Amino acid sequence: MIQDDVPEESRASAFGRSETALQLTWVFGGAIGLLLPPTYWIGFLVISVVLAFGLAQTIVSRQGATLIPGLGGNRPIRPRPTTQTEVR
């Protein structure tokens, strides 16, 4: 999706952001698994709350807002063009 929908100028940044988010999700999920007690209902409750929060953030960010300041919200579809100046 990044290769098809992201302009060439910001493709490297988009890959970096997506890979960082994926790795942090793995770490966060592993930490939750290690820190929770081995009681099934507690684990299911925690995962349900995390998934509900993620779904709410996704819905709210698609509308241009965010639940967490600095995460999601309205972002430009294409980067602003930069002007190149001649160096003499």
Write the DSSP string, 7-18. -GGGHHHHHHHH
What is the rounded CA–CA span in Å between residue 82 and residue 17?
Answer: 21
Please classify residue 73 by burial: count the beta carbons closer than 10 Å to its beta carbon, then call 0-12 exposed, 13-18 middle and 19+ buried.
middle
Encode pLDDT of 14-57 as tens digits.
778 888 888 998 998 899 889 988 889 998 999 899 999 989 98
The distance in angstroms from the start CA to the end CA of the chain is 40
Look at the pTM and tell me if it is higher than 0.85. Answer: no
